[in-house]
């Protein structure tokens, strides 16, 4: 989400050696908060960050990076502003996910559906990340509001699906 904050996370957890590894892989460690980076640049940074932070870019590590990305967003100035609009209401946040994500990213389509009670379906189309990344983001959101819950994911129905089209069901107590 915020690329410069991923670099800060690497610095915090891996120190100067982590930044050197990042520079070797990407050629630079400078990312700016107000610059719109392409999805390809974001994906490349995420892959390299996972190698540095976790050892490799496997599905479990995409999940963990998703949780860290949400936490980074929620603790940023814009994230705090957006989160304050929801007053701890997971459903409001989930149904407004498109608005929240559009403050920091673009390039994919987001659809939400209220499934009643404490359940919401979020469909992401044209997603450049593995399905586990946003499962981590949504799990991080539920945890941020200090709720117990579960996120399940799957592919969009086969007759309408393209690569990178995923559905997530969020449930919480």
For residue range 81-129, what is the model confidence (pLDDT) as tens digits? Answer: 888 888 889 999 888 887 766 666 666 788 899 999 999 999 988 877 8
Q: Is the pLDDT of residue 148 over 80?
A: yes
The span from the CA of 61 to the CA of 50, in Å, is 7
Strand-pair partners of 109: 125
Residue 7 φ/ψ, nearest 5 degrees:
-60, -40
The span from the CA of 49 to the CA of 128, in Å, is 16
The span from the CA of 60 to the CA of 34, in Å, is 30
Token pair of 21 as six digits? 């590894």
- The region, left, alpha or beta by phi > 0 then psi within -120 to 50, assigned to residue 9 is alpha
Sheet architecture: strand order including 166-172 = 109-114, 119-125, 166-172, 149-155
SS3 state at 1: coil
Q: Is the pLDDT of residue 1 over 60?
A: no
Burial 123-139 (b: 16+ CB within 10 A, else e): bbbebebbbbbbbbbbb
CB 168: neighbour CB atoms within 10 A?
22
What is the per-residue pLDDT for 17? Answer: 95
Question: How far is the CA of 14 from the CAs of 9, 48, 97, in angstroms?
Answer: 8, 13, 31
Name all domains of the chain by residue range, CATH numbers in brackets. Answer: 87-173 (3.90.1520.10)
pLDDT category at 157 given cuts 50, 70, 90 is low
- The torsion defined by the Cα of 113, 80, 140 and 54, in degrees rounded to 10, comes to 140
pTM: 0.82
The span from the CA of 34 to the CA of 26, in Å, is 20
């Amino acid at each position: 989400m915020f690329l410069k904050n991923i670099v800060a996370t690497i610095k915090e957890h891996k120190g100067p050696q982590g930044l050197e590894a990042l520079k070797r892989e990407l050629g630079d460690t400078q990312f700016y908060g107000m610059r719109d980076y392409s999805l390809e640049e974001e994906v490349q940074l995420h892959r390299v960050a996972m190698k540095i932070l976790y050892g490799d870019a496997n599905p479990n590590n995409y999940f963990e990076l998703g949780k860290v990305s949400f936490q980074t967003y929620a603790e940023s100035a814009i994230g705090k502003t957006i989160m304050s609009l929801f007053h701890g209401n997971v459903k409001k946040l989930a149904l407004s996910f498109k608005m929240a994500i559009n403050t920091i990213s673009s390039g994919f389509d987001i659809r939400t559906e209220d499934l009643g009670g404490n359940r919401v379906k979020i469909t992401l189309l044209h997603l450049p990340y593995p399905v586990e990344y946003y499962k981590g983001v949504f799990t991080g959101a539920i945890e941020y509001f200090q709720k117990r819950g579960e996120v399940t994911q799957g592919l969009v129905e086969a007759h309408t699906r393209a690569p990178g089209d995923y559905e997530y069901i969020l449930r919480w107590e």
